[in-house]
Structure 1
Amino acid sequence: MSWLGPQEWQAVMLSLKVSFWATLLSLPVGIAVAYLLARKEFAGKQLLNGLVHLPLILPPVVTGYLLLLGFGPHGPFGRLLGEIGVSIAFRWSGAALAAAIMGFPLMVRALRLSIEAVDPKLEQAAATLGASRLWVFCTVTLPLIAPGLLAGAILAFAKAMGEFGATITFVSNIPGQTQTLPSAIYSFLQVPDGEAAALRLVIVSVALAMAALIASEVLARRLAKRVAGQ
């Protein structure tokens, strides 16, 4: 991508970094939440389901503002983190948190559908042989939901790459620190003669999004065939 300028290249690399950590850190939580929603009945299940999908319905700016209230320097979680010398507001780690929350519903939905497609009798059969719930999940359920897990992770990654509203509200638009691809595109469109740079980043964004979707489909199909072959 030598045709990209230094600031453009910096925005691309930061977006990849933010999206990677957003996906990686939210994956274990996504698996746990999806399993609860797919396999368990408990008081407040619909409330949990609503909270998980709330970022898809709320304006992203509202999500970013709520993050700022909670994790900002004067927020309850922000003060707790500040006591141990950690700050995420107006930093790339805050951008990763915002991106993780916005992509979380897509990840959980893909995982939940995959878990619901697994025959519970297979899990019950393994449990009757003395295997613990965790071992049953790791050796039976997890391999069977691998295609959905992969698809959910890639969709969450792609969503994180395109996140703008929550990110810019929570961590602002600081070049080299919090300026991701969408923020950089917005910035270039606000200055004279910035359309060319914005267009280059738009092309990169479309290419990355299409690559993620195609990879999700291809790898999910391969994993599904492998699982079916077992």
Structure 2
Amino acid sequence: MTDWLSPQEWQAVALSLRVSFWATLVALPFGILTAYALARWRFPGRQLLNGLVHLPLILPPVVTGYLLLLGFGTQGPIGGFLENFGIVFAFRWSGAALAAGVMGFPLMTRAIRISIEAVDQKLEEAAGTLGASRPMVFLTVTLPLILPGVLAGAVLCFAKAMGEFGATITFVSNIPGQTQTLPSAIYAFLQVPGGESSAIRLVIVSIIVAMGALIVSEWLAHKAAKRVGGS
């Protein structure tokens, strides 16, 4: 593939994989915690939290990217504070990962939440009566049962991150080799004469990666479901 793609095209592919991987990895623990809170806990502001989690699905991606720029830019309240520690998101690949993670978070959380709601709480209660603490019940009973949903949510987040464009380009721009992911590279190539061939190659790569992710997720979910079912 390295011979088939130009150096700039390969940079976009590698950066997209890097961004999507870190976006998914960092978002996963927050996704599990949020999904569990929405599925099992009752607290003031629960519906507000649910709305905030799903807001990126409703808002135009450009709006989400602009809000991230306002909050995490070097002049923003969060970004300005983090800059004191040398952490900068705006116009960096890490910012692209942040934007991609925010956009994929609702899909991840929803898939995990549905899995948690499907778990028979009597199994958890039985483990609790045997003396297991709540964290231990979650780790030994709940988590294995929801593993297929966790895997599905992670893959959905990864796939969304690979295809994210609006929020990413608004927050971190389209800098080749630094913030230019697959979608922004395709967009850039389509804006210049003779760039169609490069755009088509990247479209093919996008399709291959997306299909590969779906196939792997189905295989992992099937293996997890078999293990949970004891077959």
TM-score by length of 1: 0.98
1:61: which partner in 2?
62
2:123: which partner in 1?
122
Cα deviation, 1:66-119, whole Å, max 9, x if unaligned, reads 000000111000110111121110000000000000000010011001111110
Q: For residue 217 of structure 1, report the CA deviation from its aligned partner.
A: 1.9
Contact 1:64 1:165 in 2 (8 A): yes
AA of the residue aligned to 2:211? M
Measured in 2, the distance between the counterparts of 1:159 and 1:129 equals 41
Measured in 2, the distance between the counterparts of 1:33 and 1:107 equals 10
1:225: which partner in 2?
226
Measured in 2, the distance between the counterparts of 1:107 and 1:97 equals 15
Q: For residue 214 of structure 1, report the CA deviation from its aligned partner.
A: 2.0
* Matched ranges for 1:1-230 at <5 A: 1=1, 2-229=3-230
Q: Which runs of 4+ in 1 moved over 4 A?
A: none
Measured in 2, the distance between the counterparts of 1:129 and 1:222 equals 29
Contact 1:118 1:141 in 2 (8 A): yes
SS of 1:173's equivalent?
coil
AA of the residue aligned to 2:196? E
SS of 1:145's equivalent?
helix
AA of the residue aligned to 1:119? D
Unaligned runs of 5+ in 1: none
AA of the residue aligned to 2:194? D
TM-score by length of 2: 0.98
Measured in 2, the distance between the counterparts of 1:189 and 1:180 equals 14
Q: For residue 218 of structure 1, report the CA deviation from its aligned partner.
A: 2.3
Measured in 2, the distance between the counterparts of 1:40 and 1:135 equals 17
Unaligned runs of 5+ in 2: none
Q: For residue 136 of structure 1, report the CA deviation from its aligned partner.
A: 0.5
Q: Please give the root-mean-square deviation of Cα atoms over the aligned residues, in Å.
A: 0.8
Identical-pair percentage? 76
Contact 1:155 1:216 in 2 (8 A): no
Measured in 1, the distance between the counterparts of 2:217 and 2:86 equals 38
SS of 1:100's equivalent?
helix
Cα deviation, 1:38-66, whole Å, max 9, x if unaligned, reads 11111111111111011001000000000
Q: For residue 223 of structure 1, report the CA deviation from its aligned partner.
A: 1.1
